A and B are shown apart, each in its own frame.
Chain A
């Protein structure tokens, strides 16, 4: 007797006979991705999904900017504008860097998703991730005002980011599974690559919290090295 694989446990999105209503605007997109993610996945498969994708990208950018302002309140000054710009740009660039490999992994896994749909899933990932970051923003702000440790604040932001990206990646995985194709190990490998690229992006665009003489760093280093140096400086 053949076992049911994990991807077959999710019914194909077209199996639902009731067609969900289209998502008309950004607010509806936010509501849908939180409460009815299948509605978002359904609309991404339909022609004319460009508006929804544009709305999701816009929400992701706005939410990144807002969370960036919160992160910037730790140091104040130039960080109040530098941090939001870096977080928004870093998110978009990380997604664009990893998008071609996601499409290739999807093709290798046998997915029938078109490039536009894959782009839409990444936009959905970014939107869900940044919406959740906004949810964490009040907590982040409270800690920003009550601690002076860069290491502690950095670790806190990292935890919030990891939780948010977990749900974003879960949405992406559901998107591929809902195509009635197996999402496959390739998508999971891509998720690891995306997380690593995003983590490296935080170091490439440092500082996101704390102060520096230049907008961007003059020295190139990998994120693990940077974290270890920060922790060493923090303990001295």
Chain B
């Protein structure tokens, strides 16, 4: 059974169709009543605003992350990190737009794209706010070059911090998205179903895009490059399966 959704006037969205910086707190606050109108009424300027916020937030975080390898890697990540997010959103836009009504939430294609962009904007804002902290941590760590010895503990600490921050941003963004889907569908079951299907699709495509666009930090023994020479040879899942196979055979 498909659930409809209610559209209503919203003082936040009525004032402007753009995503302005002062509306980021509204987005982060995640109040479904305030955001329903954003989600259900596609505005190109708001979509572009979300894309810009993703570029700034995710770009800054990617740069902080890449700085550990070198400033050049940081500048590459300024472009690559937001590119992964935006390419995932756009690459899965058609699929997400089709899955939502099939699973019971009557959204149009552009509305589902808007919802996904809003969710990624929340994640990017959180990542961007942590960029100075990550940069400070990296600055206090020996650089990742083949001439530097980095202790196992230091390396793992930096990796752990990255994982925690990215996981936190992702969880918050998805919780906000779930609440919005619940408000739109008036059904927790449908909302969870739609979110899960979008997540699976986004993770599947996103992992492969990360594989293609690697490195984001890079091995100290390999040169700093925008893309590896074999970027379009093989895929993420093949590598994982091969690694598991090697592990099991030893």
* Chain A contact residues, CB within 8 Å of chain B: 96-98, 100-101, 103-104, 107-108, 110, 112, 193, 197, 200-201, 203-204, 220-222
Contacts and interface: CB of A to CB of B under 8 A. Distances in A.
B245 interface: no
The 10 closest A-B pairs by CB, nearest first: A107-B28, A100-B129, A104-B129, A107-B25, A97-B132, A101-B129, A110-B29, A108-B28, A97-B136, A220-B140
A203 B25 contact: no
A97 B139 CA distance: 13
A200 B140 contact: yes
Contact of A222 (B25, B28, B154): B154
Interface string B199-214: 0000000000000000
B29 A197 contact: no
Overall SS of chain B's interface = helix
Given A98-B132, A101-B133, 14 more contacts: A96-B132, A100-B131, A100-B132, A101-B130, A104-B28, A104-B126, A107-B24, A107-B25, A107-B28, A112-B25, A200-B140, A203-B140, A204-B136, A204-B140
Contacts of B32: none
Given A96-B132, A98-B133, A110-B29, A104 B140 contact: no
A107 B131 CA distance: 17
Contact of A193 (B28, B126, B133, B154): B133
Given A104-B125, A104-B126, A108-B28, A222 B140 contact: yes
B128 interface: yes
B103 interface: no
B169 to A, nearest CB: 9
- The CB with the most chain B CB atoms within 10 A, among A98, A100, A112, is that of A100
A112 B25 CA distance: 8
24 contacts: A96-B132, A97-B132, A97-B133, A97-B136, A98-B132, A98-B133, A100-B129, A101-B129, A101-B132, A103-B129, A104-B126, A104-B129, A107-B24, A108-B28, A108-B29, A108-B30, A108-B172, A110-B31, A197-B133, A200-B136, A200-B137, A203-B140, A220-B140, A222-B157
B136 A197 contact: yes
Nearest to A104: B129
Contacts of A203: 140
A193 B132 CA distance: 12
A16 B172 CA distance: 35
